[in-house]
Amino acid sequence: MKRVLGLVMAAVLTVSSLGGFGGLKVKAAETNVSRETALEIGNDDFKTGSLTKEESKVGRWYKFTNYSNQCSYAEVTMSHTDGDVWPNFAFYYKNGKATGHSGFFTGDGETVVIGMEAHETIYLHIHSDGWRSGFSTYVKITPEEPNDFKTAKKTYKSGKNIYGTIEHDKDVDFFKIKPKKTGTMTIKITNNDLGNDLSHLKYTVFNKSKRAKANGSIDYGKTKKIKLKVKKNQPIYIKLEGYFFCARRENGTYVIGTKIK
């Protein structure tokens, strides 16, 4: 996607630099200099921007909105197209609180995945602290598939490993597992690479009556064992999500294994 996006950005920048009388370059004034004047980026669309040295500390503001009636996630790709240094970025909620996604981006592009509530708007601030810069920003918003007791994507048979990924900080995975026989099921959940010292994988295990029987957290690179009495063909449920703190990692993989004795 980044390669295609780079070609599109290059074409747009070339065309936009040829306007004006007599072939002179004309730079339209950019007014998105505050959160209140943020320029909206539509779904599956992009915007280009630039900063002079004098404008760089004020920066440019953009916003994007999840117009659907369900939770979604936004993939935002920022690419440095011109200038002296790599620009900085930070994302904010409507109330001004930082989402925790911040850093810098290069000419190769940086993609950030952010979970969004229905009809939620997220703001993006790009600046470069005293250096001129040109950049492009692409937004793709994808609705999350509902994932709860009623809409678990599929039923898994006990005894087989389940592999999954927490894609972002609001992602929730829900699994329905049908026991092959009656007995005591040992559930092993391994957090392969989600989080850090202050972040972890959260789990809740529900019995056939959809009552929570166990919950807790699993640190990076650790495995948790849970035991639960089960009956043949009466499903149990497992809910997984991430808990993220500062300097957080928004995605990571896990493995669920089950065995009945």
Q: Write the pLDDT tens digit of every residue in 120-174.
A: 999 999 999 889 999 999 999 998 776 767 767 678 999 999 999 888 877 889 9
Q: Write the pLDDT tens digit of every residue in 66-100.
A: 999 888 889 999 999 999 889 999 999 999 999 88
Residue 137 · residue 45 · CB < 8 Å: no
d(Cα 63, Cα 153) in Å, to the nearest integer?
32
Residue 80 · residue 86 · CB < 8 Å: yes
Please give the mean pLDDT across all residues of the chain: 85
Q: Average of pLDDT values for 54-65?
A: 96
Share of the chain above pLDDT 70, in %: 85
CB atoms near residue 135 (< 10 Å): 25
What pTM was computed for the model?
Answer: 0.65
* HSE (side-chain half, CA atoms, 13 Å) at 113: 16
Q: What is the DSSP letter of 222?
A: -
Q: Write the pLDDT tens digit of every residue in 12-24.
A: 443 344 344 344 4
Residue 77 · residue 109 · CB < 8 Å: yes
